[in-house]
Chains A and B, each alone.
Chain A
Amino acid sequence: MARTRRRHCREQKVKVVRQDADGVFWLGTNGGCRDLTNREHSRNPEILATVNPIKPAPRFCLLAALALAALSACGKKEAGREVVVYTSVDQVFSEPVLRGFERETGIRVRPVYDVEAAKTTGLATRLVAEKERPRADVFWNNEFLQTLRLKEQGLLAASDPKLGMGIPAKSFDPQGYWFGLGARARVFLVNTTLVKPGDYPRSLGDLLNPKYPAERIGMALPLFGTASTHAAALYATQGPEKTRAFFEQIKSRGVRISDGNSTVRDLVVSGQLWFGLTDTDDALEAVQRGAPVAVVAPDQDARGAMVVFGTVAMVKGAPHPEEAKKLIGFLLKSETEQELIRSGCFQWSLREGNGATRMFPKGLRAMDASPDDVLRALPVAAQELREIFVR
């Protein structure tokens, strides 16, 4: 019976069957519908409407899916020496330097870049998660705090301390776990069409100055990135009570807190803020764009501006240690640092100190905070600032 039905279906080019309320099976064909015994004929548009002429080729789909899955694994597999670098330095700055290393040594560089949204913790997270089987050889960070924390967690390997020759003592690890590379500072970016030169802010205390409306001045949330490093440095240099009171006043006053330094820059450039606290690399980008802004270093007659330097370190258990050492050596070259300064990634050379630059022709007075003190102050700072700002 079943065979008869199947032959019948094939002969009649049946597309679909349906059972009606009386229990009669109806066959839908291109010509209409009829019951199994051919007793009645009808044109039932409903059944025809559900008939879909698509004839899927499932096995083809399956093969296509398998092919796609295989495709997902396809990558450039080139033989030869290579080095894997995780870097939170912006891709636009770090990529040309890494290409330069490839040209000079013939060693292929496989970079992983961080994004601003991850607030420099993205790659540190990844390094912690990969602790059991490290994939990275070199960690090139645009600040120092995460690097020091990685060292504390035992995730970095020591390199030759001689690589740090020419770098000030507090900007590299004496055992060779990390080395400083280029620096930037925390500065005020001021919109010059909205604020006259005589009214420029001079000190961090101006964030609390009533002559500036709170909703027209801003800073990044001091929980991530360099804003967090700056806050921890304040905790380290002026003590927890005073610093906590300062940030509580900032919060209660209603100073505009943005999610990142680049947002502060954009708000100042667009005129939504009179001025904001940001990094020199963000500020420089606005200056180079020709925006009506001025850069002011805070507290030049007192404790000085916070200077944040970049770091480079070898990862413990690096799969390519020799290549990693070569890359670290290349990055620590004076020429490389100068190239990074020219491109706008950093504004100061650590080797030359915080001397005169295009941005600050008279030089810059830096806050005296050692990296280790900042690291020690961080847990308390992070906890207290979270309670103040995330509520």
Chain B
Amino acid sequence: MPGLSNALDRLLLIAAQAAAAILLGLPLLGLLLVFFNTEILSEGPAATILPLGYRPLGLLLRSAGFSIAVAVFASLAGGLIAWGAMGARRGVAILSLALPPLLIVPISIHGLNWATLILQLNDWGMRHRVPIQINGWAAACLAEVLAFLPLAIGVAWTSLALLDRKLLESAMIFRSPRAVVWRITAPMAGLVLAVGMGLIFLLSLSDYTVPSLFAVQVYALEIFSAYSASSHPAGAVLTALPMMLLICFSMVVILKAGFRSRLLFHASPAGSWPCRAAGWYSGSALTLLFLLLALPMVSLAAGAGTFPLFFHAIESARSELLVSLRVSLVTAVLALLLGIGVARGMMHGRATFLWWALVCLLFAMPAPLVAIGILQVANRAGAWTEPFLPVWACLARFLPVGAFICYAVFQRMDQGLLEAAHVFQRNRLHGALRVAFPLAWRGLFMAAAASLALALGELGASLLVAPPGESTLVIRLYNLLHYGASQEVASLGLALSLLALGAGLLLTALMHSQKKSSHA
């Protein structure tokens, strides 16, 4: 019954797009409602909140420059490390083992750890009269680059793993590996790298905790302090507006650059990685990767104390751990399913521009504003929405990430192959499941994994929408950090990392079995 199945496929797509439009659009509508409920624009405080004048604009530009530097350096370093690691024997297996534990620990915790390490090194240097001191913007940039490095390596690895190996093999017949990197690999991996760079830019722009450790003030602090001084949500929206516009503009520029590489997309990523890097280079990349993994793991293991203390810390945080896992798992699955619908909306149809605008706006919106928008809607909808709010908040924040990755995956699928499948498929659903999904599953898996990791570390929105009596692991971690319970923080961080290490092992085993069966 091809007609029925086609109708089902269409129905599923419409349902996914409708759900995504509601989940992404309503928080924006909620923020508009804030303006109707406030006298902010007719009151005196407007002048103190509106980001006008030399100081806020200068701050915004400096913050943007800082975040661009962080995104560029992290992406560049991540790309070089991923390239070097993939060029080594068993490099892919090492990456799939090392990255999940690094990615699952929230970026903010990474940032605080690296910032503390830099401050301690500075202190050591001061005591031993070593003239090298890293302070101010440079120190803040270094700490953030190191914090975002796992994410950057993950993005670069994804983009490289999705490349058409045959093209690379062909290119390497004529040119050196270095030329292949700059002329073939970088443009082909451009779209995914651009999305990753945009994500790092956004995360860096909305964080003030790491810069403020080095006495560097950024625009995110301005938003927070403006709100803190006025208590008007509308004021926070107005203050955040220039930053959101800046992020949207940057996304358009970056993605437009990424689209230029679209013509080079083809799909045959299977097979071994053809570009072997020089031994010293691969060795250095793997050593760096090992250090990135080992330093936090060793410090966590040392801080976790004895086994009874370790297990007690996990037992104490059991309910928060379960809530976090539940919310992030549901977010990951829904971000993938709805992300597919949104990505198709971004590619085809009459509402392409609207989908892009919606996704970019949500991607650029600071977390507390997303939560305030959701609460405005939930206030009107009634109490039944309360249990869904944490997932909704995570989806509103990270569905755009899932959609961007799905979009990149769909863009690079071999259209010829899909068209050929059209000839023989029983119906559209059959073709999608038997041809399109097998071609795209790696990328889709990455979309779900990215959403899961981001949702697990979400704080800004969860804090405002978590139902009473339910708390997430990150909220508990932050409370423990403030209290100085470093043993419990280390235990929980270690437990998360071990969990992710297990997931990495599973992933490696899965990829290995796929490889074996496709060669059989």
* A residues apposed to B, CB below 8 Å: 5-6, 9, 14-19, 25, 46, 48-56, 58, 61-62, 64-65, 68-69, 71-76, 84-86, 90-92, 109-119, 121-122, 124-126, 128-133, 135-136, 149, 153, 221, 223-224, 228, 256-260, 262-263, 265-267, 270-272, 285-286, 289, 378-379, 382-383, 386-387, 389-391
Contacts and interface: CB of A to CB of B under 8 A. Distances in A.
A33 B270 CA distance: 18
Contact of B463 (A74, A122, A256, A285): A122
Contacts of A387: 55
B119 interface: yes
Given A49-B271, A50-B267, A51-B438, A16 B228 contact: no
12 contacts: A16-B421, A53-B518, A69-B330, A72-B390, A84-B468, A112-B471, A129-B371, A135-B386, A223-B229, A265-B484, A382-B229, A386-B226
Contact of A119 (B228, B383, B517): B228
Interface stretch (B198-206, B273-281, B426-434): B426-434
Interface string B200-226: 000000001100110101000110111
B interface, size bucket: 35 or more
Interface string B37-69: 000000001001000000100110000000000
B479 A113 contact: yes
A19 B419 contact: yes
B21 interface: no
Nearest to A135: B468
B55 A391 contact: yes
Interface string B402-423: 0000000000000011011101
Contact of A56 (B120, B433, B484): B433
Interface in B86-124: 108, 116, 119-120, 122-123
Given A53-B518, A153-B231, A262-B482, A129 B386 contact: no
Nearest to A273: B123
A25 B423 CA distance: 9
B441 interface: yes
A49 B519 CA distance: 7
A112 B233 contact: no
B330 A113 contact: no
Contacts of B463: 114-115, 118, 122, 126
Nearest to B417: A18
A212 B55 CA distance: 31
Best-surrounded residue of A52, A62, A91, A119 (most CB of chain B within 10 A): A52
Interface string B470-510: 11000110111111110000000000000000000000000
Contact of B468 (A62, A133, A136, A256): A136
Given A6-B424, A25-B423, A132-B379, A46 B468 contact: no
Nearest to A382: B229
Contacts of A133: 378-380, 382-383
B469 A391 contact: no
A53 B479 contact: no
Contact of B227 (A121, A266, A379, A389): A121
A5 B424 contact: yes
B376 interface: yes
Contacts of B421: 16-17
Contact of B439 (A50, A118, A136): A50
Q: Is the interface of B mostly helix, strand, loop or mixed?
A: helix
Given A52-B518, A117-B478, A128 B485 contact: no
Contact of A72 (B59, B108, B224, B391): B391
Interface string B12-23: 100000000000
A201 B454 CA distance: 44
Nearest to A260: B482
A259 B213 contact: yes
For the complex of A and B, 8 pairs with smallest distance between CB atoms:
A52-B438, A110-B469, A382-B229, A110-B468, A116-B482, A259-B212, A115-B478, A132-B379
A6 B425 CA distance: 8
B231 A149 contact: yes
Contact of A58 (B330, B429, B482): B429
A382 B225 contact: yes
A125 to B, nearest CB: 6
Given A17-B423, A58-B433, A135-B386, A267 B228 contact: no
Given A17-B420, A74-B387, A390-B217, 13 more contacts: A25-B424, A50-B268, A73-B388, A84-B469, A113-B471, A116-B478, A223-B225, A224-B224, A224-B225, A272-B119, A379-B45, A390-B225, A391-B217
B222 A390 contact: yes
Contacts of A109: 469
B464 interface: yes
B249 interface: no
B334 interface: yes
Interface string B354-380: 000000000000001001100110111
B313 to A, nearest CB: 13
Interface string B431-471: 00111011101000000000000000001000110111111
A19 to B, nearest CB: 5
Nearest to B218: A390
A113 B475 contact: yes
A383 B518 contact: no
B489 to A, nearest CB: 12
Given A133-B379, A267-B119, A286-B484, A228 B228 contact: yes
A32 to B, nearest CB: 13
Nearest to B429: A58
Interface string B71-86: 0000000000000000
